[in-house]
Chains A and B, each alone.
Chain A
Amino acid sequence: MHELSIAMSMVEMASEEAARRGAAQVNAIHLKLGPLSGVVKEALLFSYDVACEGTPLAGSRLVIEESPVVVYCAACQTERTLTSIQKFFCPVCGTPAPEVVRGRELEVVALEIE
């Protein structure tokens, strides 16, 4: 369970960004989360409230956008979205598809500040 330290990093990052932009508070963090990031959404949401306590982010929301795993299928010569992270095969032609294009994101995309 490393989600608490990740939540604390996010809070720190958002506090610095808000200060840089002259904002008094952060109302929400928008996060993009890929299934291959190694981070569990529920654990992160739980940790987030704890990490925000006593900071300018207390009471703020964590808005998580879950992105799918996208692989490159060499046979179809195109990107395909996986239906399961247990099966790295092209969902259309069944060819093994080890090349991950997207799905590792753990990225703060935006902040709601005021």
Chain B
Amino acid sequence: MSTPRLVEVRENVLKQNDLLARALRQRFREAGVYVASLVSSPGAGKTAFLEKTLAALRSQCRVAALVGDLATDNDAARLRRTEAPVRQITTGTVCHLEAAMVERALEGWNLDELDCLFIENVGNLVCPSSYDLGEDLRLVLMSVTEGEDKPLKYPTIFNTADVAVITKIDLAAAVEFDLAAAHRSVQSVRPGMQVFEVSAKTGQGMDEWLKFLQSRIVDCGLRI
């Protein structure tokens, strides 16, 4: 028997995911693909927002989407109506996407034929915050029906995201959503965060979001 001893390790538990995400990011960059991911609670409107985004971008660049869900490929079917290439990632019991799932889902796709890829995460505001997927931009969505204090309840996911999108803005008055309070909540957990107010249904705010996205793509030295 050897004697008990304390040995230093210093290793990130999610190292494997982080390394894979880094490799993905490099692959995307080399292929000239801009990648944006979407996180939100279930039902916040990620798919509707993405449908409109894909449809708007289709005429300008080559877009594709990966969409994660525990089960069903209903969301992929909806997104395919935009005629963009779409793949469903069915996670089974896993409540978030990981870099390895993204890598697997990309098999057989020629990234050189894409300009912009969207990754819709599983509806969950907790677990996705720990996993880098190799994206350039992470959007966190919250709908007006969820309450103004969502960022205060889930500060970590808002803190790991780059941009916030308030969805279903056409319903704001009906549900007495306090927009100023929502903005205060976002700024409290992520000072300086850019916030878009959109309605995928009426199209309100979509132009601002699309303009922002296009400027980010250009900032990355990519063409659109």
Q: How far is the CB of A26 from chain B (nearest CB, A)?
A: 10
Determine whether B104 belongs to the interface, using a CB cutoff of 8 Å to chain A: no
B189: chain A residues at CB < 8 Å are 85-88
A to B contact number (C-beta, < 8 Å): 107
Q: Which of B1, B3, B127, B191 contacts A38 (CB 8 A)?
A: B127
Determine whether A101 belongs to the interface, using a CB cutoff of 8 Å to chain B: no
Which of A2, A13, A24, A107 has its CB near the most chain B CB atoms (within 10 A)?
Answer: A2
Determine whether A45 belongs to the interface, using a CB cutoff of 8 Å to chain B: no
CB-contacts of B1-49 with A (<8 A):
1-14, 16
Chain A positions near chain B (C-beta within 8 angstroms): 1-2, 5-6, 9-10, 13, 17, 21-24, 27, 30-31, 35-39, 85-89, 96-98, 100, 106-114
Contact yes or no, A107 B10, CB < 8 A: yes
Determine whether B160 belongs to the interface, using a CB cutoff of 8 Å to chain A: yes
B145-166 near A? 1/0 per residue, CB < 8 Å: 0000000100111011000000
Q: How large is the interface on B (under 10, 10 to 19, 20 to 34, 35 or more residues)?
A: 35 or more
A111: chain B residues at CB < 8 Å are 6-7, 9
Contact yes or no, B156 A97, CB < 8 A: no
A109: chain B residues at CB < 8 Å are 8-10
Q: How far apart sit A86 and B185, CA to CA, in the bound complex (Å)?
A: 8
Contact yes or no, B187 A9, CB < 8 A: no
Contact yes or no, B2 A24, CB < 8 A: yes
Contact yes or no, B9 A96, CB < 8 A: no
Q: Which of B130, B187, B193 contacts A37 (CB 8 A)?
A: B130
